Structure 1
Amino acid sequence: MSEQTRDRGEAAQDGAAGGDRARRVVIAGAGMAGVQTAVALREQGFRGGVTLIGAEPHQPYDRPPLSKAVLLGKAEGSAFDVDFESLDIELRLGCEVLGVRLADHELDTENGPVPYDALVLATGAEPIRLPDTEGVPGVHLLRTLDDAERLRPILAEQHDIVVVGAGWIGAEFATAAREAGCAVTVVEAADRPLAGALPEEVAAPMTGWYAESGAELRVNARVERVEPGAVVLDDGTRVPAGAIVVGIGARPATAWLAGSGIELGDHGEVLADEHLRTSAPDVYAVGDCASFPSGRYEARLLVHHWDNALQGPRTVAANIAGEALVAYDPVPYFWSEQFGRFVQYVGHHAAADATVWRGDPDSAAWSVCWLRAGRLVALLAVGRPRDLAQGRRLIEAGTPMDRELLADASRPLKSAVATSPS
């Protein structure tokens, strides 16, 4: 971001200080990040207008239950428990955003332009589709409430299911499908599950979870084409499929910003600064659609997880309504429930120089710790929530660890603090 742009943003921020009653904040996106931004603005004393715009017609809702309770018919929905009317938050639902005109301070929507004093981009991410499958009968995604509602009767009827992709969402859907009694085949192009998220030695123990649950996992297998009632793999194998669920990743939902003048990154994400401001004055970005620089990890992070969409809005709201700028540099966190296991991850392991295991990965509970220069930077916990809670605090504090003590799974993780930096 240029110094000129940064100066413009700081000048605009100075004008926002104190929650000016004449200001109007427009939030594009009514998922977790958008809703929490609107709520946080009110909690932090902002008294100007707040308009929340969502493409879906439904009352804003939380997404994690879609692959669990909603999908299995254990819940009808997951609407946020927010009284928008009492908070004086204007909802515009079923309204797609189309573009933004920065010079005019106007957001273009399918229902006409919406003027703003401050604009928050919170449009999230959208699932990546298999090529040439859009609109093909029997091929499904799982991102929205409507997606879950379409898939629920398929599971109830116990169709043969093919899941394409053994990432987090693929594993969670396969778990739900097996719980519903469906025959499940998971097709993964890489040589292991979670290949894009975890190192090979950490993801390897998870391979056996599929067979334990009764699901078949096929690795090194690419989808060649989809036929009625089947998926054809690149080796010619034809896998029967009453339904196909695609979970091969997501990309920031920012195509509508092309040509707007707002700077985007290599993955299509909005490039935000440490205060979650974009390259455009009075425009902020938060959640799955934005990356931000982390001083803690000395890297730009693009985090597609629920906790980021919960935490980031507080920073955005503070920087719109407050007197001074607040930086955003969280310790990322997420969780996944799959095949009877509760998997949690905290931190960012990309630059780690050492790995320490706690417990046997063939057991029901184990953890992996990543260190950099002797300090804990990330942790994966399977069935060890106490490790996760203690590890998160140690990562936040940058505490030096004793590797030998850390490897002793019988000890509380917090007791493995080094007496002197290693």
Structure 2
Amino acid sequence: MSEQREQRPRHVVVVGAGLAGVQSAVALREAGFTGPVTVIGGERHQPYDRPPLSKAVLLGSAEHPAFDVDFEALDITLRLGLDATGLRTADHALDTADGPVRYDVLVLATGAEPVTLPGSESTPGVHLLRTLDDAARLRPVLDRQCDVVVVGAGWIGAEFATAARAAGCAVTVVEAAARPLAGTLPAEVAAPMADWYAGSGAELLTGARVESIEEGAVLLADGRTLPSGAVVVGIGARPATEWLAGSGITLGPDGSVTADSALRTSLPDVYAVGDCASFPSARYGTRLLVHHWDNALQGPRTVAAAIMAAEKREQPPVYDPVPYFWSEQFGRFVQYAGHHAHADTLLWRGDGADAAWSVCWLRDGALVAVLAVDRPRDLAQGRKLIGSGAALDPERVADPALPLKSAAL
């Protein structure tokens, strides 16, 4: 019986039909895996890309940003509109409303879910922007040019405010912290970004905590009332892993699946990738949880290679990327690469009041992160320098007239 089990093709089941899940399935085929592959997704839509939701889809210039993947040609089975509700690892079975789904190898790619304001879920006129259906519900709001209140001045809040202003809506952005991106960037770096809101015609209220949301109004803790035709909540996201409770898979304090350097979980034959998984970074000496598109694109290649290595009993690969993301907001292209949490030096390339500028973070003389506003060459060169770990000349780094790569010693 055990010999027959070893001889039959192993069935890989991927939970999550977003970028990380789809790319995991595609990467397996590209790596030469010939066994059955099934992708299970909670949404009924054909798998799609998320970045266009806050841009082209929201503004009506695109409809369905489906992935350009021929699942039939790749012999990948899609089971859509099916939520995973539990995991019985001892039985190698995934629980769903349609009954158990057996697997030999499981890839967790369930992504992240938006954080909501308590009590607001059932309030009319309150929206999130995470799914294709969310974008579809918001398009009429922009078409009617409603007065919009955006809760949260993070990346998604800024992107939605940008789209709403482009559609002609009056926009007020409410942020509980003292500045935009308070949990992401230092005060001096975020300060110029606060001016972008007013420049676009949006009003930014910082240090403003939402007390409650009623139909047609947002009530602030300081007593102010903001009239609203619609409210969009963008206050962050958390790994979509609650369904794994009791499975035996180790989760971190942030709710992420704690994968190892090959994106293997604490249980055999189970991997995790994308927004739901954290991984150890030798480059930065810490565990990283990266909620960005590039991580969901790059990680699946490691998962596929690790699965294939396990099949051949070979050493698995190591996943330690230079994190990268971008944001288009208020007519600017913002890019970030690296991880600056433990940097000891911050250097500006240009003035934050200018149209284009960059910020570089160094640790022990080497570049660890770069933020570029409409300076794509700084980002491209900086990303390579981070990967190389080269020591840099700080004076040349701080000279915006010089190519960043020329600072390498």
How does 1:284-323 map onto structure 2 within 5 Å?
284-322=271-309, 323=314
Q: Which shows bigger deviation, 319-328 or 160-169?
A: 319-328
SS, match of residue 169 in structure 2 = coil
* Distance across 2 between alignment mates of 1:206 and 1:307: 23
Structure 1 vs Structure 2: percent identity of aligned residues?
A: 73
* Distance across 2 between alignment mates of 1:404 and 1:163: 40
SS, match of residue 271 in structure 2 = strand
* Distance across 2 between alignment mates of 1:202 and 1:361: 8
Partner of 2:122: 135
CA deviation vs aligned residue, 1:223-263 (integer Å, no higher than 9, x gap): 00112211010011000100000000000000000111000
Residue 34 in structure 1 maps to residue 29 in structure 2:
no
Is the CA contact 2:123–2:214 (under 8 Å) kept in the aligned structure 1? Answer: no
| Structure 1 stretches lacking a partner, 5+ long | 1-14
* Distance across 1 between alignment mates of 2:222 and 2:347: 38
How does 1:15-414 map onto structure 2 within 5 Å?
22-322=9-309, 323-414=314-405
Is the CA contact 2:366–2:389 (under 8 Å) kept in the aligned structure 1? Answer: yes
* Distance across 2 between alignment mates of 1:128 and 1:139: 13
Is the CA contact 1:21–1:47 (under 8 Å) kept in the aligned structure 2? Answer: no
* Distance across 1 between alignment mates of 2:288 and 2:99: 34
* Distance across 1 between alignment mates of 2:49 and 2:214: 34
Is the CA contact 2:148–2:231 (under 8 Å) kept in the aligned structure 1? Answer: yes
CA deviation vs aligned residue, 1:313-357 (integer Å, no higher than 9, x gap): 000000112343001000000000000000000000001000110
* Distance across 1 between alignment mates of 2:346 and 2:209: 31
SS, match of residue 405 in structure 2 = helix
* Distance across 2 between alignment mates of 1:199 and 1:417: 25
* Distance across 1 between alignment mates of 2:142 and 2:390: 47
Alignment root-mean-square deviation, CA: 1.0
Is the CA contact 2:123–2:215 (under 8 Å) kept in the aligned structure 1? Answer: no
Deviation at 1:136, TM superposition (A): 1.2
* Distance across 2 between alignment mates of 1:111 and 1:245: 33
* Distance across 2 between alignment mates of 1:26 and 1:146: 25
Is the CA contact 1:346–1:392 (under 8 Å) kept in the aligned structure 2? Answer: yes
Q: Which has the higher contact order (CA 8 A, sep 6+)?
A: 1
* Distance across 1 between alignment mates of 2:304 and 2:72: 19
SS, match of residue 348 in structure 2 = strand
SS, match of residue 147 in structure 1 = helix
CA deviation vs aligned residue, 1:29-59 (integer Å, no higher than 9, x gap): 0000000000000000000010000000000
* Distance across 1 between alignment mates of 2:287 and 2:104: 28
CA deviation vs aligned residue, 1:68-96 (integer Å, no higher than 9, x gap): 00000000010000000000000000000
* Distance across 2 between alignment mates of 1:56 and 1:407: 47
Q: Which shows bigger deviation, 225-234 or 61-70?
A: 225-234
SS, match of residue 112 in structure 1 = coil
Number of aligned residue pairs? 401
Deviation at 1:21, TM superposition (A): 6.0
| Letter of the structure 2 residue corresponding to residue 415 of structure 1 | S
SS, match of residue 90 in structure 2 = coil
* Distance across 1 between alignment mates of 2:122 and 2:390: 51
